[in-house]
Structure formats: structure tokens, C-alpha cells
Amino acid sequence: MDLPASRPAPPRARKDPKRIEQLGRLRVDDYAWMKDDNWQQVLRDPKALRADVREHLEAENAYTAAQLAPTEPLQAALFAEMKGRIKEDDASVPAPDGPFEYYVRYEVGAQHPRHVRRPRGGDGPEELLLDEEALASGKAYFHVGAASHSPDHALYAWAADEQGSEYYVIRVKELASGKEVAAPIESAYGDFTFSPDSQWIFWIWRDESARPAKVFRRPVRTGPGGAAEDELVYEELDDGMFLGLGVTSDHSHIVIHVGNQETTEIHLLAAGDPTGAPVCAEPRRTGIKYELDHWGDRWVIRTNDDGAVDFKLCISDVAVPSRASWRDWVPHRPGHYITGFAAYAHHLVRAERVNALDRLVVTTRGGEEHVVAFDEEAYALSLDHGYEYVTTRTRFVYQSPTTPRQWFDYDMASRERALRKTQEIPSGHDPDRYVARRLHATAPDGQQVPITLLMLKDAPRDGSAPVMLYGYGSYGHAMEPAFSIRNLSLVDRGWIWATAHIRGGSDKGWGWFLDGRKAKKPNTFTDFIACAEHLIGEGYATKGKLAAYGGSAGGMLMGAVANLRPDLWGAIIAAVPFVDVLNTMSDTSLPLTPPEWPEWGNPIEDAAAYDLIASYSPYDKVSAQTYPPVLATGGLSDPRVTYWEPAKWVAKLREFQAGDAPILLKINMEAGHGGASGRFDFLKEIALDYAFAVWALEEGWRKP
């Protein structure tokens, strides 16, 4: 590699070959040493990281900083622009609940919000419930997961993570005195719920491998020995399942949700007997998902049972809604993906997605329906359930690539919309400067893959504009055409922002997800490549002026398309990338391995799954070819995509790089999967990504 004289040489990771024999197959991992065997302790205490690994990561960070030093003014400008689009003294729309309305608000300059309430209607003094900014003071990382008041409005509980490892500590305080009324709950998941009588808190314990494994209940008012009063409510013996907690909309039942990407099981506790034993609603059946809520005298169940690929709604009139009692209510319609629903005393609202566009359908107890929809070419519509059950009002949020978020209160009886808030852009935003378009690329098998574009109205269509193509394509997570204060910084510089709605997501229904998982996973990669080729063919992009961007499982996508078609890209940004797929899915000690086998397959027991994963696993498929400039990022405390995945991948890319483009790694030594925790600090990481893209496409790396 020929480097400008003023540029530093990249770190050279040592090679320490590790032979791995599995199902009669052999692979050699030269960089397995980067995984600290004591990684569980590192999650809780990053200072425990082995010295040689720390030295290597710090060298990588120094190299990246030196390479990108010329972009520091651009990073600062991008950050200032993004921050300038945030209303610093912002507040959420108050959510009513009984005598109060609850909301969060930010002070000018604050990275974290204050949780507050005031008397319903807004007439009366504001009461501080939780000051995240004060709690975060002096801490490198601070994140609040769940935070909620008790149903009797007397208590407030919150789950805080101070490492990025997603091990949370739950605290409960009495609002009248401001004092904590229970001993802290340690090693918790960031989810909890109060019992409807406000006497118990239900929480989830994370085991030594950071998996949610048990549900406990504890009296909300305990002595200093707190943990001694914990009662085991439910234990999940299958390492492949996640746990969740909630309460039905009518507050009649506590809900324990057990499931993974393809299978669900729900356990119920009657609110009138919160110390009782949970009862299973319907035992798990592989491939069958369901969720439920109690609606007056019946249960409503959303399920993919009986071949309902895009889901249907059933009802049940019995106390424990087993499958034998389910009756079809809203039948399955292919292409009409029912994404969720919210129950109120006299209405039920279901959310649907049709051809990558959202709509809401309101149903009365008598069965009358009407649709809430919008007319833009590409938009996102989401439901905000709220606290109250006996009400005619629901709330939804509307946005599009050109339209900032708008919060509407909707009267389900009168059908009147009341705009409660429009996202304010202090530095200014003129929607008429931009245009959003919806294109469709043809995949190799003929499927039409939607692409959403955001650009200036006068952007040229001659291939001269740089393009950022963003993708994810896993777990059924849809890339909704939302408004972004971040993307505008590139668009305002003449870039085109393109979002690829590829298979593996649920953008076109649950079948769109099923066609991008397990044996069909390669569709995700070829869909993304088809989107890039379509943009080139339609004159929006040119090879070499096209940047690819994705994070987490989307980072795996980046690794795959880097190997498959490195010639397409002028830059690749892989944020916390899941690139060491074969090794990770073969390591049962890691937090997400067993729960993720339904998504990728189990290469420990299934030879076909092994061979499939080996055929695309980005780390394993790195080969001697000319790769474009690559920036990979990670977090030292990340339990989802462990730090060594991007570190190993970068080392191997650099080893096999046949060209002279730089391969860079940036590890946040004080954060986890989500990066920096503050609302402004996080933007600095995005600014780095975007500055790298500009630098790479303008070939700044070739300049001395």
C-alpha cells in the first residue's frame, strides 16, 4: 500500500492461528486472540480488559484519529448543524393519566431529560420525578431504560445502565419524600412493571452471559436486604428465548412475554392476585407468534397461526385464551401486514403496513371501521398508546423524509384530529427545498424492492451527486421513511440519501422478512446490490460516488456487500457490525447466540446452516481484492455485537486489501451497542461517520 508521506502506517495486528474443527469442517481464525476470555467481566468493568487487547484497540483509535484529522473541521460543522436542528429546551407532549399528565423535558444544554408531571390540564405546578442530567453528571455513560410511575401515582421507578453493558440497576423512590423505598435491584434487564395495585414490582434478571433468564417480583417497599424478599415468578430454561413484561391495557392482568424471532409464549397473572402463579395462555409452538390484550369482556390476539403470514386478529371469550378458544376476527389478507394494535374501552386501533406505507384502522365495539391515512408518497405513521384505557382519544405520530414529526390526538368517536406538537427545527427547515421519491429496484429473482430517496429539488440526475445508500434487512425491522435531522446535513451538501427497503425487514409484510432469513438470507445482500445498481441505472448514482451505510445486523450487510461487490462503493460505513457471524453463532456463551439461531441457523448442530453462514459471513469471506475505504465502529461494553467483531474484521480486511484505500476502526471505550448516551454526544459519532463518507468519496485519503 502506497501511503502519503505524512500519513501514519496502520496498526499491524499479530496473527495467532486458532484451529476450529466443527461438524467435520475446519476453519482457522488468526485474530481470535482479540476476544478477551474474561469478556463477561469486561462488560461490567472495562478496566478489566486484557492489556494487549487494550493496547491494540487504542492503537487503532489513534490511527483512525490521525487519518481523519483533516476532517475535524467538517466533523465540527456537521455536529453544529445537527445540534442546531434540535430544540434544546424541548418537551414531549404530556400524556394524561388520572389526575396528572406525565412528560419529559430538556433544559438548554442538557444531554439527558427530566421526567416531570403536572396536574391534568396543565393548571398547577410542575413536579420533578427524575433528573437524568443530574444522575449522569460525572459519568462517561448513563442511560435510562424503563422509567414509570406506579398506578397509584405515589412511586417512581427507573432502570439505569452506567456502562453500556445493558446490565441495569432498578431503583424505586417515594415521590412525596423523594427517598428510595426499596434496595436497588442489581443485574436487571432494562424492563420492569408495577403490579396494578402498586404493591409489587416485577423485574427480569440477567445471568452471567447477559441473558434475561428469570422474572422476579419484589415488594416495592423493602428493607436494606431487598433481594431476600425477591420471589421467583418465572424461569426460562431455553437460552434461545427473550423475556418481556407488561400489563394489559385494562390493567386486568400482568403479562410475561417469552419469545424469539419466530416463536411466542405468554404467561398471565390476574391483577387481583399478583402473588399468584402465572398461567400460560398458549404453549409455544415453533414458528407461531402471538400477542394479546384484554378488551372488555374478551381477549384480542394478533397471530400468524394457520398460515397467516401477514398476521390476523382473533378474539377469545374465555378466562385463559388458549388457541382452542381463538376465533378469527380480522382475517388474514396477504399484503396487509398487521403490525400491532391498541385497545381502549370502546375502540381498538390496529396498525397496518401495505407496500411499505403505514395506516391506522379504528374499530368500534360494534364492529364499525374507519381508516386514518395520509397522502404523501413516502411517510411513517406510528401509534402512541398512552396510559389511559377509558378514553376516546388515541395519539399517533406522523412524519416523512421531508416533514418533521407531528403529534396528533385523535378522537376515535368524532374522528377529529388535534395537532399537539410539530417538531421544531431551531435552525430552520423548509420542506419545499426537498423532494422524497419512491423507486423500485428489480431483485435477481424479480422481486420489486422499494427505495426511498431524499434530495434537494434541484439535485442533478446525471450521476454527479454523491449518494448514501442505507440498509438493514434483519429481524423483521422495517426501515420506515422517517424524518431525520441528521441526514439533512448530507442532503444540504448535495448528497442524495437513499434507504433500501430490502428483504429481511418487514417493509412489505412479514413474508418480506421470511424471504430474508436463514436459507434465504442472501436475498438481503442481493436486494441491496440491486438497489445500488438501480440508482446507477436511473442516473441517480455513479460507481465510486456511492457510499453504503448500515449498523449492527446492517453492518453485517455492509460486510457482505463489501465482499460481493467492492467495485460499487466509494465508501463503506459499518457501525457496530455483526460481521463474525460463524464464530458468534457457534459460541453459546455469548448473550444473543441461542436466541438468534432462528434468524441465522444453528451452525453447531446443522451442517447446512454452517455451510450457509460460511458462504456469506463477512469475516470468513474476506479475500484478496480491492476494497473501498471502510470505517468500522464498535463499543467496548457492547453485549450485542462484541468489540472483537469489528476489530477482527478490520485486521483481516487490512491483511487482504489489494488496493490502497484505508481500513479504519473506531472503538468507543466507554459505551456499548448504542454508542454515546447523551443526545448531543451521540451526534458526534454520526458526524464522524458522515465526515468519513465525504472524505472517502472525495478521495481525501489520497491527499498528503
Active-site amino acid positions:
552, 638, 673
Helix (H) or strand (E) holding 244: strand 242-247
**241 contact partners, CB below 8 Å, separation of at least 6:** 258, 259, 260, 263, 265, 595
Contact 549, 557 (CB under 8 A): no
CA dist 31 and 13 (Å) reads 8
H-state helical runs in 551-680: 553-564, 581-584, 593-600, 607-616, 618-621, 644-656
In the DSSP assignment, the letter for residue 620 is H
CA dist 498 and 487 (Å) reads 10
Whole-angstrom CA distances from 503 to 500, 513, 555 are: 9, 6, 15
Amino acid code (one letter) for 8: P
Whole-angstrom CA distances from 24 to 488, 605, 607, 611 are: 51, 11, 9, 11
Angle at 424 between CA 389 and CA 371, to 5 degrees: 40
CA dist 106 and 119 (Å) reads 19
375 class by beta-carbon count within 10 Å (0-12 exposed, 13-18 middle, 19+ buried) = exposed
Contact 405, 396 (CB under 8 A): no
The residue whose grid cell reads 440508482 is 535
DSSP string of 51-119, one letter each residue: HHHHHHHHHHHHHHHHHTGGGHHHHHHHHHHHHHTS-TT-BPPPEEETTEEEEEE--TT-SS-EEEEEE
- 3: Cα within 13 Å, side-chain hemisphere: 10
Angle between the 553-564 and 644-656 helix axes, to the nearest 10 degrees? 10
DSSP string of 517-574, one letter each residue: SGGGTHHHHHHHHHHHHHHHHTTS--TTSEEEEEETHHHHHHHHHHHH-GGG-SEEEE
Nearest to 261 by CA among 281, 287, 228: 287
Distance of CA 265 to the CA centre of its chain: 22
> Across-strand partners of 300?
293, 315
Contact 328, 311 (CB under 8 A): no
Angle at 445 between CA 334 and CA 612, to 5 degrees: 100
